[in-house]
Amino acid sequence: MRTKPIRFLLTGGTLALIAFFAALFFLPKPQGTGLTVNKDVPFYSMPWNDNPFFPGLINTADGKMLDGANVPSAEFCAQCHEKEYREWASSVHSDTGLDLLYDTAANNNEVAHKNRNGLEKTRWCESCHEPVNLLRGEVNPLAVVGPSQAAKEGTTCVVCHTAVKADPLAGNGAVTLDLNNLNNYNEALIMAAPSEHARNMQSKTHNPLMGSSDFCGACHTEIRPVEINGGDPLHLQSTYEEWQKSEYAEKNIQCQDCHMPPDPAAFIAELNETGKTPKRVVSHRFVGVNYLLTDPTLPSNLTTFLRGGLPPGGISLDEWKADLLEQQRLTLDLIKSAATLSVSAPASVSPNATANLDVTIVNSGAGHSLPTGALDQRHMWLEVKATDATGKVIYDNGWFDEKTGKVDPSAVIYIKVLVDKNDDPIYEHILFNVKSYSYTRDPIPANASDTIPYAIPIPADAQGTITVQTTLWYRLALQEFVTYSLKLDMILPPVMMAQNMIEIPAK
């Protein structure tokens, strides 16, 4: 009897299919690419507990370390998402690790606790500033992991786009990333299943966490753990809580609404004008207040130096400078949209008398306090300057000396004063050594105001109408930090947040 070929094929095919499904059932599921500490990553120091990332609170979904080779870099993402990549590259988020100010501050802290696990303690900082670095085991006394492009990219794409959980009240980078299950991500896999890619990358429609303040809060809340320097936990930054207590939170206006539109100042203007939240259009510039790292006009290659190196791959120097210039414009506009100034003054004033003024600062555009963030460095102050009709300055409180970088010590200033165990002030952001802190003046909550009285003595020889110019200044860091920590021969200039001018006629 002759067997027909069709029977061979049918029987063979059926058996093959059975074998296929059996194999699918019995084959091990993909395990992910995570590495086990002190097994795959040897000689890793964990002085406090079994959590390799502590005292940082960032984590991976499987609790394992990242294999650097399997972490897609921003340059990889840029192959398809060039616009987003360019926006991010000029933002401060692309520079959270290499930023010279951060890098120097981290080093200051590490050195301050030399021989006291200083380096391991910086995991607290790295949790937000160099998350990939930390998650792959690079923050260790011995170099036990190889280089990784993504590790140098600060808050790189996958840090946000693989986040599955966040604890904004715990802060210190309390985000969980599901990065180890990407399993050798490559272009072919993405192109073969774009919707799977969107799901993997937590696009907002798949994971609302990406669009909420809760996510940002995980890093914009900073609490020094007791393991750093004993004592009680020290609440150092509370931007998230400031927002949470504000009307912005009540109105469901999230961080992303103000900081991620293409033009944040325009967004705030429309919000204030209409009272309605404009439709969200997302830009990856993450506009904030860092007017220094976004300034491409600094002399002698200083921008590159401050940002810790040349622009990320795929962007020419000219393109990068143009992007930075736009970033700085948006930044300065946003700073100017945060506050308004008003002055109440007498109807007239005579020589040899005192003009009593009330200057009111209104936090009219920020969904958190003013100022906010690392307030031992970032500060704002008022300058009140009066001139007579001849232009002669008769009063100047809150001056800024452009030659020394000093601010009038009698100025009304909003800054946090840190002190060490000897009650000596800490100017160089050595948070590891802080014993306590105090505010020279409390930051102004969202939609609140602060009124400061001034008594301007009018000299006997003052001529005619008195002009009073009131300026609210903002500065990113203390001059002491620039001079003694960065060792830069530069004066860090302030930028203007708001200005008001009134005239008081002579009696």
Partner 1 sequence: MKKIWISSLVGILTLSLMLTACASPQTAPTADSVSTENAAAAEVDLSAVKAYAVEQASLMKESAAALRAGAEKYYAAIAQIKADHPDANPYEYLWANNPDAAKALLNQMRADWLEAHTHYELNEGIIAGVPTLAFFDDWLDAGPSAEEDPEALEWKLVLADDTTLESPGNLFHSLTEPALYGTVDKYVGLPVDLNGDGSLGVSEALPEAEILLAATQALDVASDQTLDAVKAWQPTLEDAFMAMVTMIPTMNEYFEQWKLSAFVSGGNFEGTSFIAASRLLDVTGILSGLDLTYDNIRPIVANADASLDSQIAAGFSDLVKYVNNLYDQEKAGTIFSPEEADSFGTEAQNKAAALAALVAQAAAKANVKLNLDAEGWSPDAPPVIIVVAPDPAPIQ
* Binding-site ranges for partner 1 (CB under 8 A): 3, 7-9, 11-13, 15-16, 19-20, 23-24, 27-31, 33, 35-36, 39-40, 42-43, 45, 67, 114, 141-147, 183-184, 309-310
CB of 466 to partner 1, least distance (A): 49
CB of 233 to partner 1, least distance (A): 27
CB of 200 to partner 1, least distance (A): 15
Choice between 240 and 320, CB closer to partner 1: 320
Choice between 281 and 310, CB closer to partner 1: 310
What is the rounded CA–CA span in Å between residue 372 and residue 379? 9
CB of 167 to partner 1, least distance (A): 29
What is the rounded CA–CA span in Å between residue 78 and residue 157? 10
Q: Which of 359, 345, 352, 350 is nearest to 465 (CA)?
A: 350
CB of 3 to partner 1, least distance (A): 7
Choice between 67 and 241, CB closer to partner 1: 67
User: Token digits for 493?
Assistant: 């200039």
Q: Which of 302, 294, 382 is nearest to 330 (CA)?
A: 294
Choice between 31 and 404, CB closer to partner 1: 31
The residue with tokens 């985000």 is 175
Q: How many CB atoms lie within 10 A of CB 304?
A: 16
CB of 297 to partner 1, least distance (A): 19
Choice between 24 and 347, CB closer to partner 1: 24
* Separation of CA 70 from chain center: 26
The β-bridge relationship of strands 221-224 and 234-238 is antiparallel
User: Token digits for 178?
Assistant: 């599901």
**Backbone φ, ψ for residue 2 (5° rounding):** -100, 135
CB of 28 to partner 1, least distance (A): 6
**Backbone φ, ψ for residue 381 (5° rounding):** -150, 165
Choice between 147 and 233, CB closer to partner 1: 147
Q: Which of 443, 445, 435 is nearest to 234 (CA)?
A: 435
What is the rounded CA–CA span in Å between residue 357 and residue 282? 43
Choice between 23 and 347, CB closer to partner 1: 23
Alpha helices in 374-437 (DSSP H): none
